[in-house]
Amino acid sequence: MNSLKARLTIGAVLASLAVVALCGGLLYGLVEDDLEDEFDRNLLERARAQTALVEFDEEGLQFEWEHSPQIIKAGALPKYFQVRDLKGNLLAHSKDWPDKQADIPRIDHADEDNEDGDVRIDGKPARAVALRFTPKLDDEAGQQPPTLLLVVAERTKSVDETLARFRMLLGLAALVGVAFSVLLLRLILWRELKPLEQLAGKIAAVDESSLGREIAIERAPTELKPVVAQLNALLARVDDTLRREQEFTAGAAHELRTPLAGIRGKLEVALSRERTPEQHREFAQSCLDISVQMQAIVENLLTLARSGNSTDAPEPVDLREALRAAWKPFAERADQRGVQVDWEFGGEGMLNTRRNALHVIATNLFENAANYVNEGGRIEISAEAGPDGLRLEVANTGCTLDPNQVERVFEPFWRADEVRTGGQAHAGLGLAICRRLAKAAGGEITVQVIKDRFVATLTLRV
Binding residues for other proteins, rule: CB under 8 A, are: 254-255, 257-266, 268-269, 272-273, 286, 289-290, 414-419, 423
To other proteins, the closest distance from the beta carbon of 428 in angstroms equals 10
To other proteins, the closest distance from the beta carbon of 261 in angstroms equals 4
Considering the complex, state which of residue 81 and residue 372 has its C-beta at the smaller distance from other proteins.
372
Considering the complex, state which of residue 120 and residue 275 has its C-beta at the smaller distance from other proteins.
275
To other proteins, the closest distance from the beta carbon of 267 in angstroms equals 9
To other proteins, the closest distance from the beta carbon of 262 in angstroms equals 4
Considering the complex, state which of residue 65 and residue 414 has its C-beta at the smaller distance from other proteins.
414
Considering the complex, state which of residue 227 and residue 250 has its C-beta at the smaller distance from other proteins.
250
Considering the complex, state which of residue 225 and residue 257 has its C-beta at the smaller distance from other proteins.
257
Considering the complex, state which of residue 63 and residue 413 has its C-beta at the smaller distance from other proteins.
413
Considering the complex, state which of residue 68 and residue 285 has its C-beta at the smaller distance from other proteins.
285
To other proteins, the closest distance from the beta carbon of 399 in angstroms equals 13
To other proteins, the closest distance from the beta carbon of 275 in angstroms equals 11
3-state secondary structure the chain: CCCHHHHHHHHHHHHHHHHHHHHHHHHHHHHHHHHHHHHHHHHHHHHHHHHCCEEEECCEEEEHHHHCHHHHHCCCCCCEEEEEECCCCEEEECCCCCCCCCCCCCCCCCCCCEEEEEEEECCEEEEEEEEEECCEECCCCCCCCCCEEEEEEEECHHHHHHHHHHHHHHHHHHHHHHHHHHHHHHHHHHHHCHHHHHHHHHHHHCCHHHCCCCCCCCCCCCCCHHHHHHHHHHHHHHHHHHHHHHHHHHHHHHHHHHHHHHHHHHHHHHHHCCCCHHHHHHHHHHHHHHHHHHHHHHHHHHHHHHHCCCCCCEEEEEHHHHHHHHHHHHHHHHHHCCCEEEEEEEECCEEEEEHHHHHHHHHHHHHHHHHHCCCCCEEEEEEEEECCEEEEEEEECCCCCCHHHHHHHHCCCCCCCCHHHCCCCCCCCHHHHHHHHHHHCCEEEEEEEECCEEEEEEEEEC
Considering the complex, state which of residue 68 and residue 246 has its C-beta at the smaller distance from other proteins.
246
Considering the complex, state which of residue 259 and residue 398 has its C-beta at the smaller distance from other proteins.
259
To other proteins, the closest distance from the beta carbon of 292 in angstroms equals 12
To other proteins, the closest distance from the beta carbon of 418 in angstroms equals 5
**314 contacts 354 by C-beta, under 8 angstroms:** yes
To other proteins, the closest distance from the beta carbon of 264 in angstroms equals 5
